[in-house]
Structure 1
Amino acid sequence: MAERIVVDPVTRIEGHLRIEADIDNGVIKDAFSSGTAIRGLELIVKDRDPRDVWAYVQRICGVCTTTHALAAVRSVEDALDIKIPRNAHLIREIMNGAIMLHDHVVHFYHLHAFDWVDVVNALKADPAATSKLAQSISDWPKSSPGYFKDVQDKVKRIVDSGQLGIFANGYWGHKGYKLPPEANLMAVAHYLEALDWQKEIVKIHTIFGGKNPHPHYLVGGMATPIDINSDNGIHAERLMHVSQLIDDARTFVEKVYLPDVMAIGSFYKDWTYGGGLDNYLCYGDFSKGDIRDVGMYRMPRGVILGGNLNEILPVDPKNPEEIKEFIDHSWYTYGGQTTGGRHPWEGETTFHYTGPKGAYSQLNTQEKYSWLKTPRWKERPMETGPLARVMVGYASKKEEFVQSVDGALKTLGLPLGALKSALGRTLARSLEARIIGGWLRDDMNELLKNIKNGDQTTFNKAKWEPSTWPKKAQGVGWIEAPRGALGHWIRIEDGKTANYQAVVPSTWNASPRDGKNQVGAYEAALTGTPVADKSQPLEILRIIHSFDPCLACAVHLTDLENKDAVEIRIG
C-alpha cells in the first residue's frame, strides 16, 4: 500500500510550494503540487492607468522583476499598436539577456547544485587533486591548490562551529550523492565565487534601468537618457562598463558555470529521472527585429507534443481556443462556477478556498488543492522553460542550439533522450546561458554602433496620450522568462485597465490536475522516481529544483482593504 509523504515547504525556491507524493515499494506512484498562497496583483492594477501597470506587476516577484515589467509594457504596446525605437528594443534585449544569465547561474549554484553536491564531503578533498581536476576542465585562473585549501578551511570552520548557515538545508551524507570529495570542493568554491559574480552583472540593470531590483521601463521605449557627452546621461564610460560586464559574464559562463555542469553531470549520467510530460511550449523571444515579428526570433516559438521533434506546432497567445486557465482543482471560481477554463483576456481572479483549515492537514487531492490555476495549450499540459526552449530550438534546426546540444551530449556520451530528465533540464539551462551570452554581445555591439552613428533615441511619444487611444483595446505581452513562457494579457477600456491576467512559467509547470485529470509538469516528472530514504527525499528536491520554481510569481496575497500583506500558514 502506498504511503504519502509531504514536503512542505520546498526550500531553495522563490515562494511557497508543497509536494505530496504517494510512495509504493520505494517508487513515487503519484504526486501532487500545491501552491500555498494567493496572487492578487491582477486585482490591484484594475482601473489603473495602463502606462503604470508595469511598475505594479513587476512586484509579482523579487527575482524576475524586470521580466514581468517588460511583459507588461509589451502588452500595453501591443494593445495600442505602439512601435518603439530600435535603441529601446536593444536595451530591453540586453536587460532581458542579463537577467537570464544572472538567474541561470544563481539557480545552479545557490538553489540546485546542493542536490548533487555534498558540502560536508568536501572536507575530505585533497586541495592539490581538486586543483588538478579544476585545471583539467577549464583555464579559470582561480584554481591553485592554495586557493582550494583556503575554501576548504572556510567550510571546516563553518562545520566545526555546528552552525552551517547557508549550508544548513541539505541531506549531507545521503547515498544519492556520487561526486568525489574533490568535485564537491570545486563546486563549493564556485558557489562562493558566484555570490560575488551575480552582484556584478545586475549592474547592467542599474545603468540602463536606474536600479535593481525593479528597474524602470516605459511604455513606448525606455527612460534611458543616452548622451555620450553628458555626465548625467548614459555616457561613453557607462556604455563601456556595460560592455565589460557582458564580457565578464560570458567568461564566467564559459569557464566556470558550463564546465561545472558538465563535470558534475558526468558522475550522474545514469540518473535519468524527472523527464515528465514530453510536451514543450515556447513563446519565443530575442527578436532581431520588432518583438511582434515572430519570424525574426533568435529563440524560436513553437509547441512540441509527445517528444516529436519532427513537428513544431504554432502558438498564438491571442487565440482564445489555444491557451486557457482551468480551475477544476484550484481555489477559484469563474462567474460563480467552480470548474472550467478561460482564455486570459476573459480570466477572473475570484478566490474560493475550500481546503484544509488546520496546519499540516493532508490535502484533499480529489478536490481542489492549490492556489495555482491550471494553464493548458489546446487542453494539453505543457512544460515550459530552458529545456522546452532548447528542444524547440533544436527541433527548429537553429545552428546555435544544434551545435550546443550535440557537442555537450557527445562529450558526456549521452543520447538526445537524456535531456528529458532533471539532469538534462539543468544542462539545457547552462547551454542556453552560453547562447544568450553571444546574443548579449551582438546586441551591445549594435547599440554602440547606433549611438556612434548619431542615433540616441530611446522613446516614441506617439500614442502616449490616452486621448489618442481607442475606446476599447486588448493586447498581450509575451516573453521568455528565465523559468519559461510568460504572458501578460490586458484589456483597456476608456483609458483604464479593465482586466489583467498574468500566466507565469511556474503556473504552467506546477499546475494541479485539470478536469480531465491530466497532471502538470512537476507531477508528471516526479511519477516513477525511486526514493531511497523517505525521511530524506533528495530525489524529489532534485526534480523540483531542476525546474527552478518561482511560486512567488505564481501565487500572492494582498489585503485590498487594509493594504497589508497577509501571511498564510498551511501545513
Structure 2
Amino acid sequence: MSTRIVVDPITRIEGHLRIEADIENGKIKDAFSSGTMVRLLEEILKGRDPKDAWAFVGRVCGVCTSIHSLTSVRTVEDALDITIPPNAELVRNLMFCSLYMHDHVVHFYHLHAMDWVDVVAALKADPKKTSELAQSISKWPKSSPGYFSDIQERIKKFVASGQLGIFANGYWGHPAYKLPAEVNLIGLAHYLEALEWQKEIVKVQAIFGGKNPHPNFLVGGMACSISLDDVSGINAERLAYVGQLLQDGKEFIEQVYIPDLMAIASFYKDWGAIGGGLGNYLVYGDLPTNGYRDQSSYKFPAGAILNKDISKVYDVDLRKEEEVQEFITNSWYDYKDGKKKGLHPWKGESKVNYTGPKPPFANLDTSKEYSYIKTPRWKGNAMEVGPLARVLVGYARGREDFKAVVDKALIDLNVPVAALFSTLGRTAARGLECMLVSQWAQEFYDQLIANIKNGDTRMAEMSKFDPATWPKTALGVGHAEAPRGALAHWINIEDTKIANYQLVVPTTWNASPRDGNGKLSAYEAALIDTPVADEKQPLEILRTIHSFDPCMACSVHIYDEDGKHISRISVVGD
C-alpha cells in the first residue's frame, strides 16, 4: 500500500512548485509535478513593437536575469534578418558568462548545498582539522583555524538564541546527511562567502547593460558604446574592471566551488545511481564565436541524446513543426481545436482554463489537469534540459574541453560514466560547465580588447531599425542556453506589430505534467525509485528536484479588462 505525500511549496527555487509523490516500501513509486502559478506574458506582448519585447520578457525571472532579454533580441533579429557586430556578440557572451558564474554558484551554495550539508552538525567540527582539510583540497586563502572557529561561533550564537535565521526550517539531523562535521563547516563557511562574492560578479551585467537585474539589450546589438577616454561610455577603466571581476570569479569557482563540490560528492556516491530519470537530453546550443547563425561555432554545442546513448547525437531544428510541440492534456489551458493536438510555438495559444480544486486542497486530482505548465515534446519525446544535458552533448560531440573536465571528475570520484545519469551527475555537471564558462569568459574578454585595440568599436547594426523597412509578415525564433536549460522564443510579426509570441522555458521542459500518452516529464521521472527515509521530512525529494534548479518564473497578478484582480497567486515559503 502506498502513501501520498505533498511538498508544497518547494522552497529554495524561483516561483511556486508542488510535488505529490506516492511512497511504497520506502521509495517513490509515482510522482506528479504541478506548477501552481501562471505567467501569460505572451498575451501582454500582443500588439506591441517587437523591438520592445526584450524589456517585457526580461521580467519573466529575477534570478537568471538577462537571458530572456538576450533570447528575445535574437528572436527579433532572426525574424528581420539582422546580423549584429562582433563586439556586440562578445559583450553578450560576457554577460552570458557572468550570469552563469553567478547563477551556478548561488544555486550550489544557497539553493542546493543545504540538501547535502548539515548546518547544525558543523557545530561539532574541529576548526583545526577543518583548516587542514580545506588547505589539502584548495589554495583558497581563507582557511585558517581561526577563520573557521569564528564562523562556528557565529552559528553557535544563532542556535543558542533559538533563531537560525536563514538556516531555519531545515531537516537538520536527518539520517540522509553523511558529511563529516569538518566538511559541513567548510560548506557553511563558503555559503557565507558566496553571499558576499555573488554581488561582485553581477557588476559585469551592470557595466555593459546599465543595471542589474534586468540589464538593457538592443535589437541589432547592445545599448552601450565603447569610448576609451569618455567617462560616460565603456572606457578603459571599466573594461579593466570587467577583466578583474571575471578573473576573480574564475578564481572563486576554481578554488572554492569546485573543491567543495568534489569533496561533498565524494561522500554521496550512492546518489550517482538515483534520480536519473528520462535519459533523454536536449540542448539548443549557445555562446557563438563566429556569429549566432553559425551553430558549429558554439561553445555549447547543440544536439539531442535519447535513451542515455551518447554514441549518437541528433541535430535539432526549432523551425520544424514536427520537432517541438506543446501539449495541454494535463494542463489548465485550452486550445481552440481541443486539448489532444500539440502546437508548434509559432501557432501556440495561451488561454487559461483552471479546472482544479479551490485551494487549500489536500491532493490534486492527477487523473486530469493538474498544472499551469504546458507539456513540450521533441519529436514526441519527453526531454531533460539543463547543465547535465549540455555536458553530455558536449562530451558526446567529442569536444576536448568537455571530455577533459568530465573524465577528470569521474577519475577523481572513482565513478563510471553511468554515474552522470543521476541527481549527483546533474549537480556535478553544473559545476563542471561553470568552470568551463569562467575559462571561456577570459577568451571573449581578450577578443573584445583585441578588437578595440584594432579600432573596431561598433556595437550595433541599425539599418533595419526603421519598421518601414520590414516585411509585412515575419517569423522568428531565438534560442539560448539559460542556466537551467534550453530556452527559446518564437515570434509572429504582422504589420510591424507582435501578432503572437511564445516562450518555452527550461522548466517547461523539466517540470511539465505527463502527456496524453502517460509519458512522464523530467522531474516526475527522476523521482521514481528515489528512497525516502522519513515521509515527514522528504529531504531526498528536495535533493533531486533542486538538482534541476527549478525556475517557475515570478509571481503573477491576473487582471480583468477593468483592471480588477481576478486572483492573486502567492506562496509563503522559508
* Preserved CA contact (<8 Å) 1:302 1:315: yes
Alignment-derived partner of residue 503 in structure 1: 504
- For structure 1, the residue ranges without an aligned partner over 5 or more in a row are none
* Preserved CA contact (<8 Å) 2:77 2:476: yes
CA distance in 2, matches of 1:306, 1:456: 47
| Cα drift, residue 556 of structure 1 | 4.3
> What are the superposed Cα offsets for residues 470-509 of structure 1, whole Å, 9 maximum, x if unpaired?
0000101100000000001000000000000000000100
| Cα drift, residue 371 of structure 1 | 0.1
* Preserved CA contact (<8 Å) 2:75 2:489: yes
Task: Call closer, same or farther: CA 1:66–1:560 in 2, change over 3 Å.
Answer: farther
CA distance in 2, matches of 1:287, 1:478: 12
CA distance in 2, matches of 1:565, 1:352: 13
* Preserved CA contact (<8 Å) 1:282 1:389: yes
* Preserved CA contact (<8 Å) 2:513 2:520: yes
* Preserved CA contact (<8 Å) 1:358 1:570: no
* Preserved CA contact (<8 Å) 2:556 2:569: no
Alignment-derived partner of residue 537 in structure 1: 538
* Preserved CA contact (<8 Å) 1:84 1:221: yes
CA distance in 1, matches of 2:252, 2:503: 33
* Preserved CA contact (<8 Å) 1:75 1:475: yes
Alignment-derived partner of residue 57 in structure 1: 57
TM-score between both structures, scaled by the size of structure 1: 0.98
**AA in 2 matched with 1:180:** P
* Preserved CA contact (<8 Å) 1:281 1:384: yes
CA distance in 2, matches of 1:569, 1:413: 44
Alignment-derived partner of residue 429 in structure 2: 428
Alignment-derived partner of residue 357 in structure 1: 358
Alignment-derived partner of residue 316 in structure 1: 317
| Cα drift, residue 47 of structure 1 | 0.3
CA distance in 2, matches of 1:236, 1:521: 46
Task: Call closer, same or farther: CA 1:566–1:101 in 2, change over 3 Å.
Answer: farther
CA distance in 2, matches of 1:566, 1:203: 36
* Preserved CA contact (<8 Å) 1:41 1:556: no
Task: Call closer, same or farther: CA 1:564–1:447 in 2, change over 3 Å.
Answer: farther
CA distance in 1, matches of 2:564, 2:255: 47
Q: Secondary structure at the match of 1:73?
A: helix
Alignment-derived partner of residue 264 in structure 1: 264
Q: CA RMSD in A?
A: 1.2
Q: Secondary structure at the match of 2:270?
A: coil
> What are the superposed Cα offsets for residues 114-135 of structure 1, whole Å, 9 maximum, x if unpaired?
0000000000000000000100
* Preserved CA contact (<8 Å) 1:28 1:530: yes
| Residues 460-479 of structure 1: pairs in structure 2 closer than 5 A | 460-479=461-480
| Cα drift, residue 147 of structure 1 | 0.2
CA distance in 1, matches of 2:556, 2:342: 21
| Cα drift, residue 159 of structure 1 | 1.0
Count of residues in correspondence between the two structures: 570
**AA in 1 matched with 2:145:** P
> What are the superposed Cα offsets for residues 544-564 of structure 1, whole Å, 9 maximum, x if unpaired?
0000000116x8453253176
**AA in 1 matched with 2:153:** D
Q: Secondary structure at the match of 1:287?
A: coil
Alignment-derived partner of residue 119 in structure 1: 119
| Residues 58-97 of structure 1: pairs in structure 2 closer than 5 A | 58-97=58-97
CA distance in 2, matches of 1:366, 1:50: 40
| Cα drift, residue 451 of structure 1 | 0.7
CA distance in 1, matches of 2:376, 2:90: 31
- For structure 2, the residue ranges without an aligned partner over 5 or more in a row are none
| Cα drift, residue 65 of structure 1 | 2.2
| Cα drift, residue 267 of structure 1 | 0.5
> What are the superposed Cα offsets for residues 335-390 of structure 1, whole Å, 9 maximum, x if unpaired?
15233210000000000110011302311111000000001001110000000000
Alignment-derived partner of residue 293 in structure 2: 292
* Preserved CA contact (<8 Å) 1:40 1:557: no
CA distance in 1, matches of 2:548, 2:567: 27
CA distance in 2, matches of 1:467, 1:47: 17
| Residues 525-564 of structure 1: pairs in structure 2 closer than 5 A | 525-552=526-553, 556-559=556-559, 561=561, 562=563
CA distance in 1, matches of 2:533, 2:267: 18
| Cα drift, residue 176 of structure 1 | 0.3
Task: Call closer, same or farther: CA 1:560–1:477 in 2, change over 3 Å.
Answer: farther
Task: Call closer, same or farther: CA 1:174–1:337 in 2, change over 3 Å.
Answer: same
| Cα drift, residue 297 of structure 1 | 1.0
CA distance in 2, matches of 1:537, 1:25: 14
CA distance in 2, matches of 1:356, 1:94: 46
**AA in 1 matched with 2:201:** I
CA distance in 2, matches of 1:563, 1:224: 39
Q: Secondary structure at the match of 1:19?
A: strand
* Preserved CA contact (<8 Å) 1:36 1:570: no
**AA in 1 matched with 2:446:** N
CA distance in 2, matches of 1:152, 1:398: 43
| Cα drift, residue 61 of structure 1 | 0.6
| Residues 110-509 of structure 1: pairs in structure 2 closer than 5 A | 110-271=110-271, 272-335=273-336, 337-509=338-510
| Cα drift, residue 569 of structure 1 | 5.8
CA distance in 2, matches of 1:188, 1:266: 17
Task: Call closer, same or farther: CA 1:142–1:456 in 2, change over 3 Å.
Answer: same
CA distance in 2, matches of 1:310, 1:556: 43
* Preserved CA contact (<8 Å) 2:5 2:23: yes
Alignment-derived partner of residue 27 in structure 2: 27
| Cα drift, residue 225 of structure 1 | 1.2
Q: Secondary structure at the match of 2:136?
A: helix
CA distance in 1, matches of 2:288, 2:126: 48
| Cα drift, residue 453 of structure 1 | 1.1
| Cα drift, residue 439 of structure 1 | 0.8
Q: Secondary structure at the match of 2:146?
A: helix
> What are the superposed Cα offsets for residues 400-440 of structure 1, whole Å, 9 maximum, x if unpaired?
10010000110000001111111111100000001111110
| Cα drift, residue 25 of structure 1 | 1.1
Q: Secondary structure at the match of 1:540?
A: helix
* Preserved CA contact (<8 Å) 1:79 1:474: yes
CA distance in 2, matches of 1:332, 1:292: 34
TM-score between both structures, scaled by the size of structure 2: 0.98
* Preserved CA contact (<8 Å) 1:44 1:560: no
CA distance in 2, matches of 1:331, 1:360: 16
Alignment-derived partner of residue 514 in structure 2: 513
* Preserved CA contact (<8 Å) 1:85 1:460: yes
* Preserved CA contact (<8 Å) 2:556 2:568: no
CA distance in 2, matches of 1:341, 1:121: 50
* Preserved CA contact (<8 Å) 1:333 1:339: no
**AA in 1 matched with 2:243:** S
| Identical-pair percentage | 61
Q: Secondary structure at the match of 1:65?
A: coil
